[in-house]
Structure formats: C-alpha cells, structure tokens
Amino acid sequence: MSELYTLLRAAIDADETARKIQLTRDLVKAWRDGNLSRWDDAPVAPIGTPGRPLRPTLVAPRELVQRKLTTEEGRAALVHAIAHIEFNAINLALDAAYRFRDLPDSYYADWLRVAVEEASHFEMLNRRLGELGYTYGDFPAHNGLWEMAEETAHDHMVRMALVPRVLEARGLDVTPGMLERLQRVGDDKTVAILEIILEEEVAHVAIGSYWFKYACEKRGLVPEPTFRELLDRYMRGRLKGPFNYSARQAAGFSEEELKALEQFG
C-alpha cells in the first residue's frame, strides 16, 4: 500500500503542469479506491517553493499590465491570470493535505477533491488560452497566493482561515464582475468556463470554512472573534472589497465574519 504523504509530496514537487495534474489525479483515485496509507514516518518537509514550470515569470502585482478586454490579447491575459491562480490552487490543496497531519480522513478527502477540481479548472483555462493563441507562461504572474501559504504553514487553523477563506475567496468576489465584462465583449466561451469555476469555488471555500471551525472547536475558540483577530494580525491593509455576500454566505461565512471583512477591506 502506498503512502499518502509521499505521493502528495511528489505531486507538489512536480514542475511540469501535465505531470503535476496526472500525479494529482492518480493519488486521488488511489485514495478513493482505499489504496493509500496515512502511516508515514517521514517528517513534514519545510514548505519551500512548489514545483512549477520556468514560465510564467513571477513579478510584483504592481508590475502586471492591465489590458483591455476588447482585445484578444487582453482577454488572454485575463484567462492567463486566472489559470495561474488555479495552478497555485492545486499546490495549495495538495499542501493542505500534506502539511497538516492527525486530522480525520474526511479532511484529506476534502482537500484531494479540491486539488483535482483545481486541476480541471487549470486545464479548461489553458485550453481556452490555446484557442486565443496563447499558452500558460506567455504572460507574467504574481505569487501572492503561495506567499500566504508560506506565512500560514505553521498552523492548520490559520491556513484554513486565511488561504481558502480570504485569498482564494476573492474569486467569489471578483468573478461576477469579470463575467459581466466578458459578456459585454461577447466572449461566451470564457464566460461558460468561469461559471463552472465559480460554482465549484463556492464549495472549496466552504471546505475551508468547515475545517477552520473544526480547528476552532478543537481549541475551544469561538470562530468569529478568532477570524477577526487573524485578519487583524495578517491581513491589515491587504484586503479589498467589495465582497460577494451571497456567495460567501453559501461558503460558510457568518454575518459577523462578513462585517469583519468589510472593516479590514
């Protein structure tokens, strides 16, 4: 029987997109078939940098050029930016399963499900890039999502609060506006892809909400004030509104948590 954490590490370290996706799908299938063991004496490796292709070039967010969606290049740049987020999200889901041990089997089932769905999102977006005459790596990108993963690698509760529920949840906030702009320029193919992604991302953020509250309960903490305190410690000056209240409520946010987001955003 193969060891779950060893296979997770191999998928995280894979630097070719197709290889990472295949390893992810293989290990998810093995997990669902009951062929993986969680008994692994290997220590958790430092978080480091996950495997990634040489391109795209990573730059600071302020260095990214905003392009108009009225041009094919502009639409490709938008699709590329989302594809990069989804590629990072594969690594984030894999790392959530790899890094944090001694959790119920359902925790690993949840994050493996997220990983394989993020892989499908990336593939859909990369195919769309090909239709627009580009591929992943043709535009620069930033590394903000993984930087937060590094900041939260020490604590499962902090990771659940800030990566799925804050940074990844930004997709819930900004996607409706992107859909409207793409519809105005007649890009129905990209709209269809983003609608699928938005629906599935609500479920992904809900998984983060569930395991954040689970961690709070295990530590005897109340989720709402704990979430507010973590926002204050890690996210002051880094949050931006507006927020998609209906999607976030569907993803497990309480009214108090939404008010906290407004305060910090």
Which amino acid belongs to residue 83? A
CB count, 10 Å around CB of 237?
6
The encoded tokens of residue 81 equal 């930016």
Read off the pLDDT of each residue in 119-139 and give the average, rounded to a whole number: 97
Split at pLDDT 50, 70, 90, the class of 39 is: confident
Q: Point out the least confidently predicted range of 45-49, 75-79, 250-254.
A: 45-49
> Would you state the pLDDT for residue 76?
96
Each residue's pLDDT tens digit, 130-165: 999 999 999 999 888 899 999 999 999 999 999 999
> Would you state the pLDDT for residue 62?
77
Question: Is the pLDDT assigned to residue 124 strictly greater than 80?
Answer: yes
Question: Is the pLDDT assigned to residue 265 strictly greater than 80?
Answer: no
Compute φ and ψ for 2, nearest 5 degrees. -75, 160
Please give the mean pLDDT across all residues of the chain: 94
Read off the pLDDT of each residue in 104-114 and give the average, rounded to a whole number: 97
Question: Is the pLDDT assigned to residue 218 strictly greater than 90?
Answer: yes
Split at pLDDT 50, 70, 90, the class of 52 is: very high
DSSP assignment of the chain, as one string? Answer: -EEHHHHHHHHHH--SHHHHHHHHHHHHHHHHTT-EE----SPPPP-------S-SPB--GGGSPP--TTSHHHHHHHHHHHHHHHHHHHHHHHHHHHH--S--HHHHHHHHHHHHHHHHHHHHHHHHHHHTT--TTSS-B--HHHHHHHHTTT-HHHHHHHIIIIITTHHHHHHHHHHHHHHHTT-HHHHHHHHHHHHHHHHHHHHHHHHHHHHHHHHT--HHHHHHHHIIIIITTT------HHHHHHTT--HHHHHHHHHH-
Split at pLDDT 50, 70, 90, the class of 245 is: very high
> Would you state the pLDDT for residue 240?
84
Locate the domains of the chain by residue range.
Answer: 2-264
The answer to whether the peptide bond before residue 242 is cis (omega within 30 degrees of 0) is yes
Largest CA distance in the chain: 55
Split at pLDDT 50, 70, 90, the class of 27 is: very high
Residue environment code for 151-177, b if the CB has 16+ CB neighbours within 10 A, otherwise e: ebbeebbbbbbbbbbbbbbbbbbebee
Read off the pLDDT of each residue in 81-102 and give the average, rounded to a whole number: 96
Q: Point out the least confidently predicted range of 38-47, 98-107, 240-249.
A: 38-47
CB 122 within 8 A of CB 83: yes
Q: Point out the least confidently predicted range of 47-51, 122-126, 208-212.
A: 47-51
Question: Is the pLDDT assigned to residue 1 strictly greater than 70?
Answer: no
Closest CA to 4 of 98, 113, 73, 114: 98
Report the alpha-carbon distance of residue 93 to residue 95 in Å, rounded.
Answer: 5
State pTM to two decimals: 0.95
Kindly report the CATH number that applies to the domain delimited by 2-264: 1.20.1260.10
> Would you state the pLDDT for residue 193?
98
Split at pLDDT 50, 70, 90, the class of 41 is: confident
